[in-house]
Amino acid sequence: MDFSLTQEQTMIYEYGQSLSKTFDRSYWMENAEKHRFPEEMYAQIAADGFIGLMVPEAYGGSGLGMMDMLLFQEGIANEGIPLLSLVVGACMSMSVIGEYGTEEQKQTYLPAACKGDLRFCFAITEPDAGTNSIRISTLGKPSADGRFKLSGRKTYITDAAESDYALVVARTTPHTEVERKTDGFTLFIVDTRAPGIEMHPIPVSIALPEVQYQIFFDDVDLGPENVVGEVGRGFDILFQSLNPERILGGAVCTGIGRYAMKKAVEYANERVVFNAPIGAYQALQHPLARAKTDIEMAALLARKAAWLFDNDLPCGGEANMAKLAASEAGIKAVDASLQCFGGNGFTKEYGIFDLYPLVRLTKTAPINNEMIHNYIAEHVMGLPRSY
């Protein structure tokens, strides 16, 4: 077993360090507080070839795998500059089109998306279905001429209005009419400016550069050219894209956790209130040491999941466990770091409390940790389904 990174992987992992020399945490935070997309940073990432990391070279990408995407996203999160739009766009949407799209779709969308000239969002969540994606009711109603009319609602869609296209998970057969509950799903590439689409921002109490939207589809006209993969068989593709999302959710948490701990160690080594730096107190050291251990364990699990994914081996168990471990470790790491800063931890100047909402978010989204526990209990351990 070899745990070392190749020279290229090391470069990918360390990319965040060079990016943050120009676009650092304060640049990210300034944009996050205004809910403004960091266009300049995104353009730089695109120019450096990282948006199309998982897109085949023939379509403008780098043709690399999940491990490389994980290293890239963990590396930028290590510097406190994560982008959710890279998870939903660069990974969940673009790599799906690269893998399952038609030749025409790949030529049309991918080279421009790799250059950063067009962006994708990913839309599955619905207000009435929530976690139970099987119950989504957004319907691409097929007509006799082979076209579809898309109607329904999606919610909490990251970066929707700022994106040019959405990869929309819809039903082409309602869940009440299918034989198997996973039948009848279809993935559509939808132009976000098409007639029949309305979007409303959802104000969320967390500083993020990406805005979340509710989207309404009212008889949006789609053709076979908008369908990714087979009509009615979209669930198989969806299933393939959920593991990467969990792996990258984990990467964001381990990275932010490391960033918080780096800041805490610097501070605790300098701050003296009695006779020694506060970092000498075991009461501060031990929670940090524990958090560091949990972060590195979660990161290892995420790498194993990414390796399995790249080798076409089942990775559902590892991807879910990595996301669970990373979200808990990230929260612990930020909390232990915050304690080191005393009152300063809650100020804008030190920016430590600001890290908390993002790591806490990952306990709920993209999938809540209760569902992750359910998956592990049922599919990894063989316990009965609980819901």
Ligand X SMILES: Cc1cc2nc3c(=O)[nH]c(=O)nc-3n(C[C@H](O)[C@H](O)[C@H](O)COP(=O)(O)OP(=O)(O)OC[C@H]3O[C@@H](n4cnc5c(N)ncnc54)[C@H](O)[C@@H]3O)c2cc1C
Chain positions contacting ligand X, by CB under 6 A: 88, 121-125, 130-131, 156-158, 204, 212, 361, 364-368, 370-371, 374, 387
Secondary structure tally for the chain: helices H, strands E: 12, 8
First to last CA, the chain: 38
CB-nearer residue toward ligand X: 204 or 300: 204
CB-nearer residue toward ligand X: 153 or 304: 153
Minimum Å gap between C-beta 4 and ligand X is 34
Distance between CA 24 and CA 78 in Å, rounded? 11
CB-nearer residue toward ligand X: 108 or 155: 155
**Residue 384, preceding bond cis, omega within 30 degrees?**
no
Q: Which residue has the tokens 């009615």?
A: 232
Q: What is the distance, to the nearest Å, from the Cα of residue 359 to the centroid of all Cα atoms in its chain?
A: 12
Minimum Å gap between C-beta 21 and ligand X is 28
Residue 26 token pair: 């304060």
Q: What is the DSSP letter of 355?
A: G
CB-nearer residue toward ligand X: 186 or 212: 212
Distance between CA 78 and CA 70 in Å, rounded? 12
Minimum Å gap between C-beta 121 and ligand X is 6
Nearest one of 215, 214, 96, 225 to 148, comparing CA atoms:
225
Q: Residue 187 corresponds to which amino acid? A: L
Minimum Å gap between C-beta 83 and ligand X is 12
Nearest residue to ligand X, scored by beta-carbon proximity: 130
Minimum Å gap between C-beta 305 and ligand X is 19
Minimum Å gap between C-beta 291 and ligand X is 23
CB-nearer residue toward ligand X: 32 or 88: 88
CB 93 within 8 Å of CB 120:
yes
CB 66 within 8 Å of CB 310:
yes
CB-nearer residue toward ligand X: 51 or 268: 51
CB-nearer residue toward ligand X: 5 or 242: 242
Residue 340 token pair: 């080191």
Minimum Å gap between C-beta 117 and ligand X is 21
Minimum Å gap between C-beta 122 and ligand X is 5
Bridging pattern class, strands 120-123 and 165-171: parallel
Distance between CA 282 and CA 302 in Å, rounded? 30
Nearest one of 85, 110, 84 to 97, comparing CA atoms:
110
Residue 174 token pair: 């309602």
Cα-based angle 287, 289, 290 (whole degrees, multiple of 5): 60
Minimum Å gap between C-beta 202 and ligand X is 8
CB-nearer residue toward ligand X: 123 or 291: 123
CB-nearer residue toward ligand X: 240 or 368: 368
